[in-house]
Amino acid sequence: PGAPFGRAAQGQPRSARGQDLEHPVEITLEEAFTGTQRILSMDNRRIEVKIPPGVRTGSKVRVAGEGYPGAAGGGSGDLFLVVQVQPHPVFERKGDDLQTEAMVDLYTAVLGGEATVPTLTGKASLNIPAGTQPGQLIRLRGQGMPKLRQPSERGNLLVKVQVRLPRQLSERERELF
């Protein structure tokens, strides 16, 4: 008869899996959009880690077997990269959506028209409906962040419309107002 289930035989060291290790990593919003990689130096080893598109602050990226070594032949723990996405000067992230602002003139807000807005992939044309109010949000579908584990799907870009009032009016413009 051997040792009871779950116990090591008398005098033999018990194997134990190594502890997991957490390591912070900072990335830009653009890197969170496209995915990126980092090369870490740990215990005289170079570890290349891929960070998938769609990660957000607080996401943990698991790297199997790169934590602390185990005892008595036990496997190593895992390394978890704890992601911190840096603030962006143009976009604010809200889940998988991004929010930004667009400045339009009074005439475009009143009569309708188009505005060009930034996205993380370039510029997009935004349709401004007639009667748009200052602070109104307009949605551009599919122009937000990729969804984690489903990078082909993306959130939306929410554009907050700011109205620029004219500073100097001609006499004719004053009459029309």
Q: How many residues are present in the chain?
A: 177
Counting as low any pLDDT under 50, the low residues of the chain are: 1, 3
Q: According to the model, what pLDDT value does residue 26 have?
A: 97
User: Which one-letter amino acid corresponds to residue 35?
Assistant: G
DSSP assignment of 50-95 equals EE-TT--TT-EEEETT-SSPPBTTPPP--EEEEEEEPP-SS-EEET
Q: According to the model, what pLDDT value does residue 7 have?
A: 53
CB 166 within 8 A of CB 173: yes
DSSP structure class, residue 16: B
Q: According to the model, what pLDDT value does residue 176 have?
A: 72
Helix (H/G/I), strand (E/B), else coil: 128: strand
DSSP structure class, residue 136: -
Q: According to the model, what pLDDT value does residue 175 have?
A: 78
Q: According to the model, what pLDDT value does residue 39 have?
A: 93
Q: According to the model, what pLDDT value does residue 145 have?
A: 98
CB 70 within 8 A of CB 12: no
CA dist 141 and 177 (Å) reads 35
Task: Give how far Cα 176 sits from Cα of 53, 60, 131, 143, 165, Å.
Answer: 51, 59, 17, 38, 15
CA dist 48 and 53 (Å) reads 16
* CA 141, 146, 149, 152 torsion-angle sign: positive
Give the pTM: 0.81
CB atoms under 10 Å from CB of 79, counted, come to 22
